[in-house]
Amino acid sequence: MSAQETTPRARLLEVGLDGVHHLANPRAEFMFGAASFSLSLPSSRTDPSHPCHNKLVIASSSDDPSSDSSLNSDAITIEVPVDDVRVGDSILGNVIGGSSFVDESMLTGESLPVAKDKGLPVFAGTVNWVVSCPCALGLATPTAILIGTSLGAKRGLLIRGGDVLERLAGIDTLVLDKKENQLLLTSIASLAYEETEILRLAAAVEKTALHPIANAIMNKAELLKLEIPMTSGQLTEPGFGCLAEVDGCLVAVGTLDWVQNRFETKASPSELKDLRDHLEFVLSREGTSSNHSKSIAYVGREGEGVIGAIAISDVLREDAKLTVDRLQQECITAFLLSGDREEAVASIGSTVGIKNENMKSSLTPQEKAGVISTLQGEGHRVAMVGDGINDAPSLAAADVGIAMRTHSKESAASDAASVVLLGNRLSQLIDALSLSKATMAKVHQNLAWAVAYNIVAIPIAAGALLPQFDFAMTPSLSGGLMALSSIFVVSNSLLLQLHGSFQKT
């Protein structure tokens, strides 16, 4: 068979007697991975009538050539330098020592390497280099994702999966709810009861609710050290209010229409007008700030209807405007969707710089989810930020749901979200976006390196440079390069720790 040139230590697997007996420096070794083979020639190589004249034996260079493992008792081992073997020489023989894997695809079409042990034949042109590196391809994505999610956890960002980082890096629309502001109970009004009685009843109903308005009511009740009664039959209707039995009577807290419809006995229109006027008087007496807006929660009791109202102030977060400005710099459009009154939504939206057409008020949780679905239908990739049970449907509908951790307990919002901001700061949105983009950049760099390495290294190992430059890779060089390719992608992923705001201070 025609000889094939592979590497400097394994150019040929077949060479004839005419190509061996004239060699001046008798040495030729053939490397197959961890195994080394040499040529064994019958002692009567010059005698054409010798039965072994046309057969040479491949022997392990570490074996004793005079051992019984030789194919013929008259055979001797002749070692020739590989550089003296020329194209056109041929050899026939079997492996009598050592083991390795050989690529015979050029003969058989078999894509997998074939194991070669003692007694098995080897053929011309079949080689075993180890240079291609699927490890680098396999490590490119998971190493970057692991570093990215670990960095996020250290900075108070709970990111639930590498696919979340990929989706977050590609968003172009961010939906906010007004409740991401800090809520404070500022006023209580009633025509028949003391303010503390209205607060006591409201706190009893809201004490098990996981909602920012409920938190504001509970914080005020705890501040005043009120004794909160036991309740039973708790019922929550997201976006509308809560209902429970307190002191033997049903008590409801929520929107005006919802509370009115919970009971057969309803407050008269004149009573409701007087209650609103009284609340407005209290609010005007306390004064308001340009960075405050008000939400009203009504309190009703069985047999009486609406008996009081509680004003909740939205105190604009210090980092709210800065966060919206940064989003706009990143070409991300901000929307403000809320179930609160139009005036309250408009006040907050205009303060932080959200366009009027991107603000919607008086929405139910289902309507919020519908707006998000509409945006997705227009081709936008949407992230939603929420912090209450009302936001759970919207968080689930968005491409990426982001929950604000407003209390120590798990909530429906955090359960439905893909990202949880454990620090309860809007500015963490920017950190999450920056981290996701940096992580995906590392993934792309790693993949580009791994693909480029294999495209370049495999042809060189196959002998692409051999005819012109007389260069081919040895197994040791191939193995070293394969290891270095994996080290590169891991090291490149570790460099993510030096990214921007995520550097250690």
Nearest CA among 380, 289, 389 for reference residue 339: 389
- Give the containing element (helix H, strand E) for 163: helix 162-169
Active-site hit among 103, 177, 387, 431: 177
Residue 491 backbone dihedrals phi, psi, to 5 degrees: -65, -40
Q: Which residues contact 448 (CB under 8 A, 6 or more apart)?
A: none
The long-range contacts involving 318-327, CB below 8 angstroms and separated by at least 24 positions, are 319/425, 319/426, 319/427, 320/180, 320/181, 320/351, 320/352, 320/426, 321/351, 321/352, 321/353, 322/427, 323/426, 323/427, 323/429, 323/430, 324/352, 324/353, 324/354, 325/353, 326/430, 327/174, 327/429, 327/430
pLDDT score at 47? 42
Structure-block tokens of residue 229:
């009664």
Structure-block tokens of residue 359:
């603000």
Structure-block tokens of residue 50:
């010798």
Q: Reduced to 3 states, what is the DSSP secondary structure of residue 200?
A: helix
Whether 314 is catalytic is no
Q: Are strands 382-386 and 231-237 parallel, antiparallel or unpaired?
A: unpaired
Q: Are strands 333-337 and 305-315 parallel, antiparallel or unpaired?
A: unpaired
Nearest CA among 2, 7, 1 for reference residue 478: 7
Q: Which residues contact 500 (CB under 8 A, 6 or more apart)?
A: 434, 438
Angle formed at CA 388 by CA 168 and CA 395, multiple of 5 degrees? 30
Map out the domains of the chain with their CATH numbers.
17-116 (no CATH), 157-179+316-422 (3.40.50.1000), 182-315 (3.40.1110.10), 440-502 (no CATH)
Burial 132-164 (b: 16+ CB within 10 A, else e): bbeebbebbbebbbebbbebbeebbbbbeebeb
40 forms bridges with which residues in the sheet?
57, 77
Residue 228 backbone dihedrals phi, psi, to 5 degrees: -90, 125
Angle formed at CA 44 by CA 43 and CA 46, multiple of 5 degrees? 125
β strands within 154-291, DSSP E = 157-159, 173-176, 182-189, 231-237, 241-246, 249-254
Q: pLDDT (tens digit, 9 = 90+) per residue, 48-69?
A: 443 333 333 344 334 444 444 4
Weakly modelled stretches of the chain, pLDDT under 50: 1-73, 75-76, 90, 92, 289-291, 504-505
Burial of 175 by CB count in 10 Å (0-12 exposed, 13-18 middle, 19+ buried)? buried
Q: Which residues contact 151 (CB under 8 A, 6 or more apart)?
A: 435, 496, 497, 499, 502
pLDDT score at 336? 93
The whole-angstrom separation of Cα 45 and Cα 67 is 20
pLDDT score at 467? 83
Q: Which residues contact 342 (CB under 8 A, 6 or more apart)?
A: 361, 362
C-beta neighbour count of 74 within 10 angstroms: 13
The whole-angstrom separation of Cα 310 and Cα 253 is 9
Structure-block tokens of residue 499:
């990214």
Question: At what angle are helices 320-329 and 428-461 packed, to 10 degrees?
Answer: 30
Burial of 269 by CB count in 10 Å (0-12 exposed, 13-18 middle, 19+ buried)? exposed
The whole-angstrom separation of Cα 38 and Cα 96 is 10
Question: At what angle are helices 195-206 and 212-223 packed, to 10 degrees?
Answer: 130
Judge contact between 315 and 184, C-beta under 8 A. Answer: yes
Question: At what angle are helices 134-154 and 162-169 packed, to 10 degrees?
Answer: 80
pTM of the entire predicted model: 0.60
pLDDT score at 204? 93
DSSP letter at 191 equals S
* Cα of 58 vs its chain's centroid, Å: 53
Judge contact between 351 and 316, C-beta under 8 A. Answer: yes
Judge contact between 196 and 189, C-beta under 8 A. Answer: no
The whole-angstrom separation of Cα 287 and Cα 19 is 106
